[in-house]
Structure formats: structure tokens, C-alpha cells
Structure 1
Amino acid sequence: MRTSVLITIVLSLFWLPLHAQTVQTDSSSTPDHVIYTVVQQQPEFPGGMSRLGQYISENLRYPKAAQAAGLAGRVFIRFLINKQGAIEKVKVLKGISPEIDAEAIRMVASMPNWLPGKVDGQAVDCFYNLPINFSVR
């Protein structure tokens, strides 16, 4: 009897820190509105990553002035995917130029709803970071 209680306690001590590390909340969270940065099940673009790549290539418009100037690189965008999968709070984490950054924001904001992230099987609000490449061909 005593051994099984000890084993349960020891297993709990290992499981709790591991479980706690599977999810993280954002500093902007409040008790009535929790926003996650790390979830157990990541949000997913409808059709997966290959469809996301296809969506980006079909909908991203390289600004002509930026293209003519040879501006290229990677824009890092952060956005919230809410419990319903809608995109909110789109912002640039690291940009290239105002016109390229604005195009990245426009394209992300126009995306269809995603499958939301989940914690313990429940849909949650969570942030997602997406790098978008701009390259002159």
C-alpha cells in the first residue's frame, strides 16, 4: 500500500512539470481571457501546411516599388487565432519595409479561418508566428 502511494507521488512529481510545459500563456492574458503561446494541439490552416504555402503563393502581392528596389527578405508576422479559428491582432514582429510589411499583414488578415489550437481537447485562443518570404525573381 505504502509503495503504491509513493509511486503515485513520484509519478505525479514528474508528470506535473511535463504537463505544465506543454502549454504557455501570453503575458497579455487576463483571468477572463486566456491567450496561449504554446498549446497541446497547434492551430492548422485548412488543408495543412502545403495548402498554407499554396494560399500564400496565390494571394501574396509583392509591392512593385519594393520589387523594383530589390527589397527582399523574410517578414515575421504574429497573429491570434481565436477559438472559432478567425484571425485577429495581426502584427509584424520583424519586417523589411513599410510596404512589404503592410502586404504581409493584408495577406494574413485575409486568410480563411484556421482550425483552432487546443488545450485538453478544447479550442483556445492562441498566438501563431508565421515567416513570409519575399524574394525578387
Structure 2
Amino acid sequence: MKTIIISFLSLLAIVAFVSTSTLAQGRNELVYTTVEKQPEFPGGKAALSRYLAENIQFPSSLMRKNHDTGPVSAKFIVDKEGNVRDVRISTKQLDKKAQKGMADFMTSIIAAIEQMPRWRPGEVKGVPVAVFYTLPIEVNMK
């Protein structure tokens, strides 16, 4: 009976720990979802907006059709050295006519994010840590 209780308490402790961090796939590195200090692009949010505007190409096929991309977000890890890796893009469901243009758009987003300069890493208790980061990408065709 003691073994069952100890196992249950151990499992409970693991579940509580995983709620704020997780192990990165294929690496033995904790990646936090909640941190005391969020990662920051060099120069802050305004510099990040300028960087994205200069480096992401919106396909002309989508522009000509005035296609609404809907919400687009990039999800990636900012590691404890400030490097960006494991970029993934999430979008709304696409119709067949827009799929090629959206694929080109997502490729452009991934390339721009992978080439970003080092970020200031996130911190927990003053120590740099790897953080899952979600970056909404707004498309403004004006």
C-alpha cells in the first residue's frame, strides 16, 4: 500500500512540474511555457515588427485575390542562449485556391524567423531558460 501512495505522490509532483515546463522533443532540455521574464527581440516589439515587415514576403497571388489569411501565428522556442529554433506556423483552414499562396507565405515566415538575431532569453529566478514563444503575425495590406 505504501508503494502505491508513494508512486501516486511522485506522479502528482511530476504533473505539477510539467504544467509550467516540458521537455523539448528529442533533447534533454526543459522548455518553459510560463516564465518570470519573457524572451525579448533585440530592440523590443517595435524592432520585431520592423524586422518582420522587412523580411516576410506576402505572395502576390494572395494579394491579387485579396485573400484573408485569418489569424496566423508562429510558435517557436527561444533557447537559453537566445537562439530561435523549432518554428511552426498555425493558420486557419484554407480553401484550395489559396493553399499554394499560403504555403509560400508560411515558408517566408519560417525563413524570416529562423534567421532572426539572438533574442534576450526568458528567465526564471534570474537564470536564462528555454521558452515556448507564440508570435501572432498580422497581415495588413494597406
Instruction: Give the TM-score taking structure 2 as reference length.
Output: 0.71
Unaligned runs of 5+ in 2: 1-15, 95-101
Hey, what does 1:133 align to over in structure 2? Answer: 138
1:76 to 73, 78, 94: 73
Hey, what does 1:101 align to over in structure 2? Answer: 106
Conserved 8 A contact 1:81-1:87? yes
Conserved 8 A contact 1:77-1:94? no
Aligned length: 117
CA distance in 2, matches of 1:46, 1:94: 26
Unaligned runs of 5+ in 1: 1-19
Higher relative contact order by CA 8 Å / sep ≥ 6: 1 or 2? 2
Hey, what does 2:124 align to over in structure 1? Answer: 119
Distance change in 2, residues 1:31/1:134 (3 Å): closer
1:64 to 57, 60, 64: 60
Conserved 8 A contact 2:74-2:90? yes
Conserved 8 A contact 1:42-1:117? yes
RMSD: 2.4
Are positions 1:47 and 2:52 aligned together?
A: no
Distance change in 2, residues 1:59/1:41 (3 Å): same
Matched residues, percent identical? 30
CA distance in 1, matches of 2:62, 2:26: 40
Distance change in 2, residues 1:29/1:123 (3 Å): farther
